[in-house]
Amino acid sequence: MIKVGLLGLGAIADMHRQAIHASSDFELVAGFTRNRPKLEALAKEWQFRSYTSVASLLDDGDIDAVIVLTPSSNHHEHASMALKAGKHVLVEKPVALGADQVHQLERLANKLQRVCMPGHCSVYRPVLQRAKAIIRSGRLGIPYFGSSALAMPIPDEQLYGWRSKIAYGGGGALIDSGTHRLYQLIHLMGAPCQVFAWTHNWKQVMEGEDVALLSLRFESGALGSVFQSWVSRDSTIPEIRVLGTEGSLWISDALYLDGEKIVPQLPRQDSFNRMLQQFADCILKGTLPIATMQEAELTARTIQAAYDSTQTATAINLCDAGQGSG
Ligand SMILES: NC(=O)c1ccc[n+]([C@@H]2O[C@H](COP(=O)([O-])OP(=O)(O)OC[C@H]3O[C@@H](n4cnc5c(N)ncnc54)[C@H](OP(=O)(O)O)[C@@H]3O)[C@@H](O)[C@H]2O)c1
């Protein structure tokens, strides 16, 4: 049994708690948040040992693994501290602010022989895994275009909380929800080679952008786009499209192959359950996660380049000259 602690007990913590509960390999034993009344209430309800500092939770030798659920700017520090304390680590998205930080975590985990896994929950959806298998099988011919888009509202508490400050969130809608859009596209299409981006701040409440559009060219030569909005009144269904020379895929309320529905979409909790089970398999069996730290690094590098592109109004290269043409 893997004894696990939650570093952060905010909005997303309950999905991780439910996933831990659904797995016979994990036991939730500890939790951290700075807000003491909230900590004590959850400790009672969820039955765990309570800690008011990250360091004190990590000092608990009875904890084997932690899930990092603090604000995005804290992920690198908290995941590094946890690895150094000998814990296995699952880090929520974005894994860190910048590709160098993600790379450092990966190297640290390798050196200390601990698991460090990105919380790329959407990759674990059966619709995405089936889409990847179809692309690999060659059924689509040459995949020449891939896109990933979601327009949604953002709750007021998030609009005014840490997400509204670039120092805490690392940016706006792109690095936050847009990370989900991009890591899924990278999982299906491979490494981006070039990015041109536009962002805008319509509501003027947050410091960062509330809309972002990325034009991408992948190493394979395929083109692509990512769109993330926090401005819409109603949420659209997150959509992914892959167009190939011999067929097309569309993921929305289900996975469609050439317009025919082939895999149903499951509730969001299912992807957290599958991700946590993969975390257990990595710890107990040495399995490699299907969503890798390399993908997290590529995602972070592409987002950094997208922000650079908005400053310079130029396309930013992400791979060596000469690659990606075709
Ligand atoms: N996979 C997904 O679909 C998904 C969805 C939502 C969020 N996330 C990710 O999960 C992470 C947490 O998001 P959330 O929405 O749960 O945030 P949240 O509700 O604001 O919770 C953040 C937690 O971190 C603690 N915290 C805040 N500032 C801190 C600091 N400076 N040092 C240490 N702890 C601090 C908070 O404690 P106090 O309140 O007690 O201060 C709280 O326990 C983010 O990285 C986000 O991107 C992922």
CATH top-level class of 2-122: alpha beta
Q: How far apart are CA 43 and CA 48, in angstroms?
A: 5
Q: Which pLDDT score, from 0 to 100, does residue 324 have? A: 41
Q: What is the pLDDT of residues 290-320, one digit of tens each?
A: 999 999 999 999 999 999 999 999 999 998 7
Report how far ligand 1's centroid is from the alpha carbon of 246 (Å): 43
Give the residue whose CA is nearest to atom 4 of ligand 1.
Answer: 12
Assigned fold of 125-273+297-317: Dihydrodipicolinate Reductase; domain 2 (3.30.360)
Q: How far apart are CA 314 and CA 263, in angstroms?
A: 39
Annotated domain spans of the chain: 2-122, 125-273+297-317
pLDDT band at 237 (very low <50, low <70, confident <90, very high): confident
Q: What is the pLDDT of residues 35-92, one digit of tens each?
A: 999 999 999 999 999 999 999 999 999 999 999 999 999 999 999 999 999 999 999 9
Give the residue whose CA is nearest to atom 15 of ligand 1.
Answer: 11
Report how far ligand 1's centroid is from the alpha carbon of 70 (Å): 4
Nearest CA-CA partner of 267 in 29, 85, 15, 55: 15
Atom of ligand 1 minimally distant from the CA of 39: 40
Burial of 53 (0-12, 13-18, 19+ CB in 10 A): exposed
| Ligand 1 neighbours (beta carbon < 6 A) | 8-12, 33-35, 38, 69-72, 74, 92-93, 119, 121, 161-162, 176
pLDDT at 322 over 70: no
Give the residue whose CA is nearest to atom 39 of ligand 1.
Answer: 35
Q: What is the pLDDT of residues 76-124, one digit of tens each?
A: 999 999 999 999 999 999 999 999 999 999 999 999 999 999 999 999 9
Q: Which pLDDT score, from 0 to 100, does residue 291 have? A: 97
Atom of ligand 1 minimally distant from the CA of 162: 20
CB 219 within 8 A of CB 143: no
Judge whether 2-122 and 125-273+297-317 match in fold.
no
Question: Which of 70, 77, 175, 272 best tests ligand 1's pocket when mutated (most atoms within 8 Å of CB)?
Answer: 70
Report how far ligand 1's centroid is from the alpha carbon of 9 (Å): 7
Q: Percent helix, strand, coil in the chain (nearest 5)?
A: 40, 25, 35
pLDDT at 155 over 90: no
